[in-house]
Amino acid sequence: MPHTFDALIALEESLDSSGQHPAAPVVAGSEQGSGVTGPRTAVARTHPAWANMVGPYGGATAAQALAAVTSDPRAQGRPAALTLNFAAPVSDGQLSITVDPVRTNRSNQHWTVRVDQESGTVMTGTVLLAGGRETFSDTEAHAPHVPAPAEVDVARYSMNLPWTDNYVFRLVSGVPHRPSDSSETVMWVAQSQPRTWDHLSLAAASDVFFPRIFARTGAPSPAGTVTYTVYFHTGPEALAAQGENLLCRAQASRFHEGLFDQVGHVWGEDGQLLATTTQLVYFKGV
């Protein structure tokens, strides 16, 4: 059995209209900067292990969209940023992920991403790849001082959400079912089935926070991410060297008119800041 995450990100080449695999990527492109631009479509499928209440976990779809970029033969560099917009509910089944490297520069590469299903476009977004260079390095968002993972009880995150079984959650502060003056949550998150961390699994894991409205009011209310951003602060070697546990902290800045934002940070077990992540989330009245 492959790891549930490897099963999730296994993409197929898009078939052409005669049902055949095209011999080469479909690139109807032109030269811009140093690369060949043009759309290329890969096919992904939702995976039952990554199901949410309705449709798939958003972080799972984000990982599939990013995988369509990083597995494209034109990809240069490592993920530096992604912004994905959840335009409509993703249905269980097939996703057509169309990616286009619209601009390749010396130090970075800009991609657009679109995910289509039978119902139309369900996701839009952009991905930035960049090459790592030695420069001044410093961290200002320090990991909060918290007990080590072994000293924190494992939480049952939520009921009847298959995707949560892929992770082990250890809530340090800010729990979903108790009202609080602050929406801040701090938790350790590990993969249930250990797997070396990479940008794809970090893109999925940066969406593990339950909606901030639950932490603030203590009451679950319908809520869904509308736009999701991750800035990746380091390269593949540094990610692969991390231990299993990620320290995750998130808080809303403002709840207003049916929307709230979330600003989050994800650190490795060694305290290294791996990602800054933000969301804008729709919620139904409380």
Contact residues for a second copy, defined by CB under 8 A: 32-33, 80-81, 83, 85, 87-88, 102-103, 105, 107-108, 110, 112, 114, 120-122, 124-126, 128, 130, 132-141, 182-184, 213, 216-217, 226-227, 229, 231, 233-235, 251-259, 261, 263, 265, 273, 276, 278, 280, 282-286
Short-list 97, 104, 87, 34, CA closest to 66: 97
Least CB distance to a second copy at residue 71 (A): 20
- Residue 240 has phi, psi (to 5 degrees) of -65, -25
Based on CB atoms, which residue is closest to a second copy, 157 or 283? 283
User: Considering the complex, what minimum distance in angstroms separates the CB of residue 35 from a second copy?
Assistant: 11
User: Is residue 19 left, alpha or beta, with left meaning phi > 0 and alpha meaning psi from -120 to 50?
Assistant: left
Residue 188: partners with Cβ closer than 8 Å, 6 or more residues away: 146, 149, 152, 169, 170, 172, 245, 246, 247, 248
Phi, psi dihedral angles at 32 (to 5 degrees): -140, 130
CB of 18 to a second copy, least distance (A): 24
Give 106 or 156: the residue with its C-beta nearer to a second copy: 106
10 Å CB burial of residue 227 (0-12, 13-18, 19+) is: middle
Residues 86, 178: Cα–Cα separation, whole Å:
28
61 versus 164: smaller Cβ distance to a second copy: 61
- Residue 25 or residue 255: which is nearer to a second copy going by CB? 255
Over its C-alpha atoms, the chain yields an Rg (Å, rounded) of: 19
Q: Which CB, 48 or 179, lies closer to a second copy? A: 179
Give dist(CA 238, CA 152) in Å, integer: 25
Please provide the size of the chain in residues: 286
Residue 91 is which amino acid?
S
Work out the end-to-end distance of the chain between its first and last CA atoms, rounded to an integer number of angstroms: 43
Which residue lies nearer to a second copy by CB, 121 or 193?
121
CB of 56 to a second copy, least distance (A): 18
- Least Cβ distance, residue 230 to a second copy (angstroms): 10
| Minimum CB–partner distance for residue 63 and a second copy (Å) | 19
Structure tokens at 239: 């990610």
Q: Of the two residues 40 and 216, which places its CB atom closer to a second copy in the complex?
A: 216
Q: ∠ at Cα 41 (40, 44), nearest 5°? A: 150
Q: How far is the CB of 277 from a second copy (least distance, A)?
A: 10
